[in-house]
Amino acid sequence: MPQITSIKPQKNNRRLNIYLDGKFGFGLDLENFVKLGLKVEQELTDTQVEEVVKKAEFQKIYEKILRFASLRPRSEKEFKNWLQKYKVHDSLYKDLFDKLKYLDFLDDRKFAVWWVEQRLTFRPKSKLSLKFELKGKGIDENLIKEVLFETKVDEVKLAKDLIEKKRYKWEKLDNFEARRKMSEFLARKGFNWEIIRKILDINEE
């Protein structure tokens, strides 16, 4: 059976390198090292080595995904994409997600509410645009409807504010051309014709 011949701290002092039979075996975080009670001259079966390596890999990925989660709220799909990007074995997904849920990092409803509020505050968009963005983040369609309903997005005000910011672009155009440009601009932002017509009528007053 492989024997632990040396234990050396890594440069960050938060992990250790475990050497088996004089060769590097695996890296391990301090928490698991203490829990497992590993020591020099201890013999490990191949199965035990596999289990320790799995624990070590989990902790390493867990620390990285926590940093990813702390930057801003994330949807479940974003976490899955991150795990796939770093080729994390899917056998670790459930435990990682359970940890993230426990720490309140994994909640698609909370994410959707945050996303809509951020957009309305800093980058105003129509309900349709918000819906497409949330779908792209993997949010369930029924949940999107609920969040958008609860948020009570005032599309008329949003469209009016957007037009006011861009009004300088159309000031020198004749009425017909200005209306056409404004209509196209709002359509690209995802507003429906009913909203666009209201805004055009307001600008006629």
Q: By the 8 A CB rule, do 154 and 125 touch? A: no
Q: Report the distance separating Cα 158 and Cα 191, nearest Å.
A: 10
3-state SS, residue 154: coil
Contacts of 114 (CB under 8 A, 6+ apart): 73
Reported pTM: 0.74
Tokens coding 30 = 């301090």
Per-residue pLDDT at 205 exceeds 60:
no
Cite the DSSP H helix spans in 24-75: 30-36, 46-71
3-state SS, residue 20: strand
Question: What pLDDT, on a 0 to 100 scale, did the predictor assign at position 70?
Answer: 94
> What strands, in cross-sheet order, belong to the sheet with 15-20?
4-9, 15-20, 23-29
Q: Report the distance separating Cα 88 and Cα 59, nearest Å.
A: 12
Q: What is the mean pLDDT of residues 23-34?
A: 88
Give me the CATH topology for the region 108-151: Arc Repressor Mutant, subunit A (1.10.10)
Per-residue pLDDT at 11 exceeds 80:
yes
77-125 per-position pLDDT tens digit: 999 999 999 888 788 899 999 999 999 999 999 999 999 999 988 888 8
Which H or E element spans position 28? strand 23-29
Which H or E element spans position 125? none
3-state SS, residue 10: coil
Q: Report the distance separating Cα 205 and Cα 198, nearest Å.
A: 11
Per-residue pLDDT at 146 exceeds 60:
yes
Domain 4-102 sits in CATH at: 1.10.10.10
36-64 per-position pLDDT tens digit: 899 999 999 888 988 888 888 898 899 99
